[in-house]
Amino acid sequence: MNLASDNVTGASEEIIEAVARAARGSAAAYGGDEVTARLDKLFADLFETDVTVFPLATGTAANSLALAAMTPPYGAIYCHEAAHIANDECNAPEFYTGGAKLVPLRGANSKLDAGALNAAIAGATPHGEHNAQPAALSLSQATELGGSYSLEEIAALTGIARRHGIGVHMDGARIANSVVHLGCSFADVTWRAGVDALSFGATKNGALGAEALVFFGGDAAARIPFLRKRGGHLLSKMRFISAQLEAYLTDDLWRRNAVHANAMAQELAAGLGAIPGARLLHPVEANELFIELPAAVLAGIRGAGHIMPPWGDGEGNAVRLVTAFDTNAAELETFIAAAIALAR
């Protein structure tokens, strides 16, 4: 099995069919098509409020554009030190903001700590033009270690942002998994909890390559069309992204996919976690688990051709395992059984 990531997956059949269907005939370019036009209503229904939606091809584009719309080039963006925007996007947020600073903060299980956030903003404000100005807070839901912020945790952090007049962005590359895990609505976990803009991920949960940048009011969205074009992210045949998003939101495909991925993660956690010497490193609250396994088990699994890249500095026995919408349940059962057998 390839458990390296949920972006090693293919795509849901419904999404491929939607793209094929959209390819028939001509349609206005650059998002002037009918599929794209239908997205506003679909997303408004999903989020139970009016939204502004920008279809995009990558999550890094969504994150960077959202932050660029909120942050002046002399701004500071507060995020967890493990955040994807800080570690895995090769300075894309700095690029799109024109040189804003990401301020990495600590916190258990890759969740931002309210105290650390408060202290960082407080430390920045009295120095006038000498330091970066507090401008945005960015949260990842699910987090980089497979956790899901509770609604209360989100509200506590966004409340701090609100008090200091800074915007709130949520990196939702795996937001469907968190919504399923929390048993809440998309509205609950975003604007009702104080989020201004969301990178709504679909690629990891069944799309070929489709994300949506969603704004819940405010005037930052008005700058996105220009920032998007300037970034080379205005697709001429946008309908092929929009069609993926439409299929993703139709008949709860997003939910079915995320429910499956999360269930597979729980199964994996239960199975591998019971191996003597195994140790789950973080709570499993979405579709990822981080686990230390006995060296012999690891070696055996890898020897059988399964793909499980090391986690961390690569010297220990920790791995990150990611399940997905297309994880085969039967294969997974066999895989777990084999791991247990290796541990004997």
- Which residues ranging from 201 to 260 are in contact with a copy of itself (CB under 8 A)? 203-204, 208-209, 223, 225-237, 240-241
Give Cα 157 distance to the centre of its chain: 18
Nearer to a copy of itself, 41 or 223 (CB): 223
Stretch that binds a copy of itself, among 69-77, 264-272, 286-294, 329-337 (CB under 8 A): 69-77
Stretch that binds a copy of itself, among 39-47, 123-131, 246-254, 282-290 (CB under 8 A): 123-131
Interacting residues of 30 by C-beta distance below 8 A, sequence separation 6+ = 234, 235, 236, 238
Distance CA 89, CA 264 (A): 28
Burial class (CB within 10 angstroms; exposed 0-12, middle 13-18, buried 19+) of 99:
middle
Site for a copy of itself, residues 310 to 339, rule: CB under 8 A: 313-314, 326
- Name which position in 42, 47, 52, 60 contacts a copy of itself (CB under 8 A): 60
CB of 90 to a copy of itself, least distance (A): 4
19 sits near a copy of itself (criterion: CB under 8 A): yes
CB of 89 to a copy of itself, least distance (A): 7
Site for a copy of itself, residues 255 to 314, rule: CB under 8 A: 313-314
Query: Which residues lie across from 79 on neighbouring strands?
Result: 104
Strand-by-strand arrangement of the 133-140 sheet? 52-56, 211-215, 197-201, 167-172, 133-140, 75-80, 101-105
- Name which position in 46, 89, 170, 289 contacts a copy of itself (CB under 8 A): 89
Stretch that binds a copy of itself, among 119-127, 271-279, 288-296, 333-341 (CB under 8 A): 119-127
- Name which position in 14, 99, 255, 259 contacts a copy of itself (CB under 8 A): 99
3-state secondary structure of 9: coil
CB of 76 to a copy of itself, least distance (A): 8
Residue 79 dihedral angles phi and psi, to the nearest 5°: -150, 170
Q: What is the dihedral of CA 218, 221, 223, 225, to 10 degrees?
A: -160
The rounded radius of gyration (Å) of the Cα atoms in the chain is: 20
Nearer to a copy of itself, 230 or 279 (CB): 230
Nearer to a copy of itself, 158 or 257 (CB): 257
Give Cα 245 distance to the centre of its chain: 15
Taking Cα atoms as reference points, which of 65, 71, 129 lies closest to residue 103? 71
Cβ 19 vs Cβ 228: under 8 Å: no
- Name which position in 88, 251, 331, 333 contacts a copy of itself (CB under 8 A): 88
- Name which position in 52, 64, 148, 262 contacts a copy of itself (CB under 8 A): 64
Distance CA 235, CA 227 (A): 13
- Name which position in 40, 98, 274, 331 contacts a copy of itself (CB under 8 A): 98
Residue 278 dihedral angles phi and psi, to the nearest 5°: -75, 150
CB of 63 to a copy of itself, least distance (A): 8
Stretch that binds a copy of itself, among 34-42, 84-92, 159-167, 277-285 (CB under 8 A): 84-92
- Name which position in 92, 182, 264, 301 contacts a copy of itself (CB under 8 A): 92
Q: Which positions from 132 to 171 touch a copy of itself by CB under 8 A, shown as an x/- string?
A: xx--------------------------------------
CB of 196 to a copy of itself, least distance (A): 19
DSSP 178: H
- Name which position in 58, 118, 150, 266 contacts a copy of itself (CB under 8 A): 58
- Name which position in 59, 147, 167, 194 contacts a copy of itself (CB under 8 A): 59
Distance CA 267, CA 245 (A): 29
Strand-by-strand arrangement of the 318-322 sheet? 279-280, 288-292, 318-322
